Chain A
Amino acid sequence: MRNILSLSCLLLLCSCAQLHHVQIGEVASHSGYVQKPFDIKISESGVNLGEAAEVSKILLNKDRQKDAEEIVGLIGLFQMGPITGNPVYVKDYAKNLIQLIYEKCPSGKVTGLMSVRESRKYPVVSGEIVKVTGYCLVRKGS
């Protein structure tokens, strides 16, 4: 019994990573420059309403279960169209990405930019992540 419980806890706590999209920009090697790697990670919490409804079925009484299902259905009507990962409720969480790249690389000379869109999935919630890695070109000797 204890084994089953610890295995369930382990499965609930560990996150499954899901890769949605990878994009790679131009890669340049310049002899007069040193390439300094940088990475930026932005994330926001997503909610899987289907799983939330399933959990509510266990926790709530029959009337409340019905209400929860109706609410999930209603919200679902407003969340149509192609998506990656679960819906988040802060729509512009990745808005400052360019600003963050400038902070990491003030010269603005960036190469080998790779942007990765991925999710970390937990029960009901998820981490919706945008990861950007690249190289900042810094002039040798500066």
Chain B
Amino acid sequence: MTRCGVFLCECGGNISGVLDLPALAAGGRSLDGVVNVAISQFLCGAEGRRLIEGVVADRGLDRIVIGSCSRRFQGPTFERIARDLELGENTVAFANLREGCAFIHRHEPEKAQRKAETVLATAVARAGRQRPLQPSRTFLNRSALVVGGGIGGLSAAEELAGAGIAVHLVEREQSLGGYMARLSKTFPTEDCAMCSLGPRLANAATDSRINVHTLTEVTSVSGPPGEFRVRLRHHPRFVSDLCVGCGSCTAACPVELESEFDLGVTRRKAISRPFANAVPSTFAIDNRGWAPCTSTCPAHTAAQGYIALAAEGRWADAYRVASEPNPFPSVCGRICPHECEEQCTRGRLDQPVAIAAIKRFVADQAGAAAPVEAPARRHGDRVAVVGAGPAGLTAARDLALLGYPVTVFEAQPVAGGMLRLGVPEYRLPREVVAAEVERVLAHGVELRSGQRCGRDYTVDSLLAEGYRAVLLALGLPQARLLPIEGRELSGVVGGLDLLRARALGDPVAVGSRVVVIGGGDVAVDAARTALRLGAERVTMACIEDRATLPAQPDELAEALAEGAELAPSLMPVALIGEGAVGSVRFQPCTLGEPDARGWRSPRPTEAESVELEADTVVFCVGQGLDQEALAGAAGVAVAGGQIVVDRETMMTGRRGVFAAGDAAAGGGLIAIEAIAAGARAARGIHNHLRGETLLDVWPVERERAEVPDLELCRRRTRPRQEMRVLAPEERRTSWQEVRLGFTEEEALTEARRCLSCGGCSDCRSCVAACPAGAIDLAQKPRDEELTVGAIVIATGHREFDARRKPPLGYGRYANVLTQSQLARLLSASGPTAGRLCRPSDGQVPKRVFMLQCVGSRDSTSRGNEHCSAICCLFATLHASLIRESYPDTQVTIAYTDLRMPGKGHEEYLKLVAERGVRYVRSRVGELAEEQDKSLRVRWEDTVTGGKHEELFDLVVLSTGLEASAGTTQIARVVGLQQGAAGFLKEYHPKLRPVDSQRAGIFIAGTAQGPKGIPETIAQAKAAAARVTSMLQGGMAATPVEVAFSEPGVCIGCGVCVAVCPQGAVRLVDGDRVHALVDQASCRGCGICAAECPSGAMTVGGFSDAELLAEATV
């Protein structure tokens, strides 16, 4: 039973003048639990305090009931007394006898009396139900996270550091500075923005208490206020701390991208520093991942790189990039099926860039002159490469570059493999192959030709001889013939054998009626070779239909232009003839469904069989391994016609024996695949010989850079350069190269069509140019975890995208800009050094039109409802600056209303209007572009009602403010509400403007709503003050009026977790799953307690028992 003391206050007559307190006291005495009733004249004063202290001590009270004014008024006074008397929290109950009784029922004293009796009785009943509560304490980490490095973030960081709170300042861009760094001057004083910002930037850079993290984002925030656990992701800048800021890298970089800092007004290089005063002062590489061409290439050739260098005519540098992964750029530029071109982003706009043709030009132009010397020997381990084809020679070169002595064994009298002996010379001249093979050998690689594996030596013998590793790059040289009737007749030949004989200069002849069986590139090669050998009629017959045959479409087209015929969807059934073949019988067929390996078998149809006359039949239906070569290669297994290798090491089943190229399982049967495989084998062999994984065998995959359609549609279309070819009549009788290649002009023009999808093109020109060796392309994103006590969010704004208002022509008309873009042009440190030039011709505009409220005060779905607060001033400022520097230039500002709140702003407007700026209250209809790129503007004057139409040289749109992308991202990470246009919701718009909805997290600046610089700084410093007062105690008592769930009663239904607006409740394990409230985050609203079906959840001081005791009588 509680011992309750009732104290009634006369309130100097305010209460006692209406209520009969002695009678009330008498009634109170007989209430349950009441051991004492006292009356005081002023209970809240010193006398009242002494009275309470005395009674509590004398009568051993554990509860106090105060009958006085509203608890909202003097409640804290009595709660403090109870605390001081060590009665505990929640031991005082209140009866509102003044505002709730005496004052409002003055004219009905009897009713007032009865009501007072009831109110007192329920207060006593409540006191009987109150349980003393223990506040818990949280530790407050004396540090803060400031998200956003603009003027808001910088101001907050400065203030916090000054208060001795360690600051982590996180900025997602490359440099601190935000929007203010982009401005020229600020209103109304026309101070230079960078002069005001500069000292803040320098301060942030040098203050040891401020840790600056740029190119960094916040990826998660968890934990209670006072101990937030924050995870940061540092994006790589690819430039280390060795950078001295000289800018040589920028000069060397061939890639130009749109400058975000200059808001698209100019371009900048892929390696750049946004502005001179950037903090930190280093450069960074904008690497957007692999361009689609690079991503698709089996060797991940930096195609964007050599194309970028080619576009600048830097042929030697381009050759360096093209040949780095591939010693055969001239070859591949001619014969590669160039899947990269299928993926080229330009193909979505008009036509893909002619990547292969450019590579060919680069290699042809610069390959011969490119220096090559045998690299230094670093290791003694000898490596044997069996097969001098693309796989073998690439591996040989790469191993030589790694410092190994390499010997290449080749069965044929000439090196080059399929490149020399498979691809006909009208596609790939012999000199081209020979030159690139020579370059490989010039790396100090020994070639022994005429040595056949399995006959002149074996794998076993090589290893016995002392070679520490053997690479089998045998290729698939055996032509396969179909096991059909008649294959033993004369005149039947394998396609590969025909091509090889021709390539070696051996005598070779075909009849006059040639049938080539097969639909792939070998078949096309064989058909065109047959034509050049004099056949009158050449027909290619294949099981595929026209649409699905595997040969490259342009090769097939050239073959058909030369006179070859195509007979698709035919499967050969028998070769007919006596001694020599005379005809081939075919059965029309279709292709079945792909099997497990993806191969589709032919299915004969019901149609009549077809017989084609043929005195020569060339089989081009597949290639096979030379099995004899594997004699004496114990442990090397073959499956499915290819050598089995471990994908990760490139090793076969025999230790130290590797395989790559066509001969090894996995990978397609084209040159660039073999080259890539050869390179992987070299790395695998290096790892094996050194006994540790020093190199990644497979290059680390990078994300594929995509250019969104919205970006793409802004580009102008330009057609692809056509490759000149020999006329078909000329070709049929000569072995001259059919495709004539680009001229230098054509290569330059075509290379300039590249869209630079990947940003940085991996050309490594910066690496070569940097005198400090500061470029580090291996940098990876790095995660970091911090604990901070509080968070300030100042993530700023972005401009309304004026492309959402198509009639204004932004993005289409050259001379329509936004105010921010104009700021860049007017800025002395901007791209034009402060000279106002209009984009189309660089001339100073004589007539400038500024349109206000673009995207603001807009109730259509294309705009935002709010007024963006600063645009009228922004336009006025720029008008003033223009009039000052260009007195001959007229400026017209078309406004809806002129809004100039704030100190000095109205006065500024007057001043500027006097400088001759024309202000027109109007509604603008449409902008139309004239021939000379000036703009015809139609508007209606809303004051006079008159309609106007005028020409202007430059139109500037005052676009409104919206929350930045970073704001939306941090809101999602932290769990903050966003209002219209994405601005963060403050806890209360009037009373708590810098508090967010979450305890311990504060917001400032334009992330919260549109505002100018002084207001941003004020809010930022206010947020800093909030953080300071929050953290200053080191420990904080959590308020007792927070939610609490009784574990034994809680049924773990989880409804409280779902309804809490703070996310302060979670379910935890225990004897039974039950709810646990994070009391530091709880705001005590009680929604959870009201929902709780079991009654386990309650709010301190407002339990069901207490509330019902007051509510029921």
Q: Do A and B bind each other?
A: no
